[in-house]
Amino acid sequence: MGGLKHVEVELKFPVLNSQELVKKLNSLAQHDKSDFQKDTYYIPKHRNFLETTPVSEWLRLREAKGKFSINYKNWHKDKDPKSVSCDEFETKIEDLDALRKIFASLNFEEVITVEKARNTWMYKDVEIAIDSIKELGDFIELEAKGNFNNVEEAKAHLYAVLKELNAQLGPQDFKGYPYSLLEKRGLLKTS
C-alpha cells in the first residue's frame, strides 16, 4: 500500500440495507469471496488491553476455511479516539492447537470469540466487506487496498467510495466487533 505498509485504514458501520447493498455490489464490483470466520481474541495477563478506553490493541486468531492466521492491531487512538487506522501485523499459522498451548503457557487469556459470515468485493482499490455478525447484526467494512501515500488520502478515498454506494448506515463503529460483543454481553468491567 504505497507508504502505508503494515498500516490498515478502515471504516466500519452498521448497515441497515444489507440485502440491497449486496445486490448493488454484485452489479458494481468484483466479488472476491464468501466465507465464515471465527475470530478468537486474547489479552496478555500482564497487559490487559481492556483496561484502556478506548481499546486500542487486539490480538486475534482467525479460523477460516480450514486455514489459520494470527493478527495484532494497535489502533492510533492515542491521538484520536475515532481513529480509522492502525498498525497491523498478520501472518499464517500452521498449527492452531500448538499456538493456543503457547498462549496458555504465556498466560494469555481468551476474551471473546466473534463469529461472522463475510462477503467481500473489490472496487476502486477498496476491499468492501458485508459482515453478518452473530449477536450484533450486519456491518459494512471498507479497507483501503490501493497505493495511497498517507492515511488521510486513503481515508478520503474510502469515504468517497462509501458515498457512492449510498448505503443506509448506523453510526460509525470505532469500537470493533470484539468490544461491541463484550459490551453487549455485559462482560466489560466498568469503574
Cα separation, 30 vs 7, in Å, equals: 24
How is domain 7-184 classified at the architecture level of CATH?
Beta Barrel (2.40)
C-alpha angle 29-82-167 in degrees, rounded to nearest 5:
30
pLDDT, tens digit, 9 for 90 and up, residues 25-84: 999 998 989 999 999 999 999 988 888 877 889 999 999 999 999 999 998 877 777 888
Q: pLDDT (tens digit, 9 = 90+) per residue, 70-101? A: 999 998 877 777 888 889 999 999 999 999 99
pTM: 0.89
The full set of domain ranges for the chain reads: 7-184
Average pLDDT, the chain: 91
Instruction: Show the cell assigned to 89.
Output: 501485523
Listing DSSP states for the chain in one string gives -TT-TTEEEEEEEEBS-HHHHHHHHHHHSEEEEEEEEEEEEEEETTS-GGGSSS--EEEEEEEETTEEEEEEEEE-TTT-TT--EEEEEEEEES-HHHHHHHHHHTTEEEEEEEEEEEEEEEETTEEEEEEEETTTEEEEEEEE-S--SSHHHHHHHHHHHHHHHT--B-S---S-HHHHHHHHTT-S---
Could you tell me which of 177, 156, 155, 154 has the C-alpha nearest to residue 14? 177
Res. 5: pLDDT tops 80: no
Contact between 89 and 70 (Cβ < 8 Å): no
Task: Read off the C-alpha cell for 165.
Answer: 454506494
